[in-house]
Structure 1
Amino acid sequence: MRIAFVSDIHGNLAALDAVIQDIERRRVDQVVNLGDTLSGPLLPVETAQRLRALPWLHVAGNHERQVLTLPLARQNASDAYTSGQLAHAEADRTWLASHADPADPRLHRGEMWPDRLGNDIALCHGSPRSDIEYLLETPVGEEARLATPDEIRERLDGRLPPHITLLACGHTHVPRAVRFAGDGVTQDLLIVNPGSVGLPAYDDDHPYPHSRYHRIETGSPDARYAVVERRGDRWVCELISVPYAFEPMARLADQRQRPDWAHSLRTGWMPRA
């Protein structure tokens, strides 16, 4: 079983096409999208139409929830732009609403798609208990560090049964693979975040215990995803970085008055004042 995990496409069609082409040459058995698929100032409708033609499995992220359930006045600029575009594309909005709800406990028990993924795989967007919680990162000051084992255990919140050996998450845009082996969480658990296909850096002023503002930066404009393969009785992860022609997407962000996005797309860093 070879599974490609993608996440956080954010309407970046150029990055998505580059990742699709790279996945096609790797002969994977299944592709799973972990959410935050359309939201942003780029090409949400075109991205939805590209994905609708593919036999991928999709998990909703926090931006799906926000676009589909929050009043427009409460949506941030990225979600509001996407909502406006989807208002004229009912089929794409319906497709987005069909994605698996990350609050569904079946995702965390490995029961949502056992015929296509196996029952030892669990999925979420943020953490098993919240689509906006970082699982593998902890904001401290203006940066986000690798979470400690105790922090990760606390965020898992006892929601993974012992037969789960692979948990895939997204949300933080940071490519990472963390393994717990025989330490009481589970017999052998690999947690994989494939990183972001479409947005390599962002900043956030959501308050945390040790941070009121932080930046997530990968330092490269490349699109990211992961391929996970079972070898014997263990999962092996490859974190993949794919170069693509990012400048048209950056210019589009500029045209839509999002210089923060444009800088991120060109560099993988956030602008400094």
Structure 2
Amino acid sequence: MRLALVSDIHGNLAALDAVIADMKNRQIQCVVNLGDSLSGPLLPLETAERLRSLPWLHVAGNHERQVLRLPIERQNSTDAFTSRQLNPTNRHWLAEHADPCDARLHQAQMWPQHLGDDVALCHGSPRSDVEYLLETPVGESARLASWAEIEERLAGLVPEHITLLACGHSHVPRSVRSAAGLLIVNPGSVGLPAFEDDHPHPFSSYHRIENGSPDARYAVVEKRNKQWSCELISVPYDHESMALLAEQRQRPDWAHGLRAGRMPRA
């Protein structure tokens, strides 16, 4: 079994196309998209059309939930821009994604023809689509979560037979394996390598995520001899075209993050 994991495309069609091209020679059997596919000031409609043409499996992220369920006047600027771009066909397609509000952890029986029965998926953590699983915001940055923190966030929701748990949301490419053999993989973000967030956390009210590179990220996981291995992949692409588009949309913060993989300092 050889799977590709993507997440957090955020309407960056150029990055998505670069990742798709990179996958072509990797003997991928199935691609799983872990959510936050469209929201942002870039190309949400065009990205939706591209994704609709692909035989991928999709889990909804927090931005899918916000676009579909919040009144537009309550949406933030990136979600509201996306909401105004989408037509009914694409909104219906988005609503068909596996919904984190209906099932906190998506196990393989949802897609038995594609995934092994030891695979589970979530966008953030098994208990929340806005919680990082492998990182902990502290002050203005985010550190690697301790295993005790990860176990708390798993909240007893991952059955013992699961050996691969895929997550997204933090945009940080990372893999962690427990002593018991559970491999947790975050493929990183296809389309947004840096961002700022003021969502409240126990040790932080504002933090930055910065990967330090403009590259698109995804992961390939493979099962051999009953164990999963992971390759975290970094793909260069024409990020300047997307940065210029962000500037045209009056989003210099996105433009800076897309160019540098870091957020601007005052």
Tell me the distance in 1 between the aligned counterparts of 2:146 and 2:94: 34
User: Displacement, 1:212?
Assistant: 1.3
Specify every segment of 5 or more residues in structure 1 that has no aligned partner in the other structure, as ranges.
183-187
Cα distance in 2 for partners of 1:198, 1:109 equals 26
Separation in 2, partners of 1:106, 1:121: 14
Q: Which letter does structure 1 place at the counterpart of 2:225?
A: G
Aligned to 1:93: 91
> Which one of the candidate residues 193, 200, 206 is aligned to 1:207?
200
Give the fraction of aligned pairs with identical amino acids, expressed as a percent: 74
- Report the TM-score, using the length of structure 1 for normalisation: 0.96
Residues 175 and 261 of structure 1: CA distance in aligned 2, closer, same or farther (over 3 Å):
same
1:253 to 2:246 alignment: yes
Is the Cα contact below 8 Å between 1:108 and 1:159 reproduced in 2? no
Deviation string, structure 1 residues 220-249 (Cα, Å, up to 9, x no partner)? 000000000001121000000000001111
Q: Which moved more, 1:67-76 or 1:100-109?
A: 100-109
Q: Residue 221 of structure 1 aligns with which residue?
A: 214
Aligned residue number for residue 265 of structure 1: 258
Distance 2:243 2:104 in 1: 38
Equivalent residue, structure 2, for 1:8: 8
> How far apart are residue 106 of structure 1 and its match?
7.9
What letter corresponds to residue 27 of structure 2 in structure 1?
A: R
Is 2:104–2:127's contact at 8 Å kept on the other side of the alignment?
no
Whether the aligned pair in 2 keeps the contact of 1:61 and 1:171 (CA below 8 Å) is: yes
Letter in 1 for 2:92: T
Match of 2:49 in 1: 49
User: Where in structure 1 do 4 or more consecutive aligned residues deviate above 4 Å?
Assistant: none
In the TM superposition, what whole-angstrom CA distance separates every residue of 1:37-84 from its partner, at most 9, and x where no partner exists? 000000001001011111000000000000000011110010000001
Q: Determine the structure 2 residue equivalent to 1:185.
A: none
Task: Tell me how far apart the structure 2 counterparts of residues 170 and 106 of structure 1 sit (CA, whole Å).
Answer: 14
Shift of 1:107: 4.0
SS in 2 for 1:138: strand
Counterparts of 1:1-273 in structure 2, within 5 Å, are 1-86=1-86, 89-105=87-103, 107-182=105-180, 188-273=181-266
Tell me how large the CA RMSD over aligned residues is.
1.0
Offset of 1:113 from its aligned partner? 1.1
Which residue identity does 1:196 align to in structure 2? S
Q: Displacement of 1:206 after TM fit?
A: 1.4
Q: 1:164 to 1:134 in 2, by over 3 A?
A: same
Q: Which amino acid aligns with 2:197?
A: D
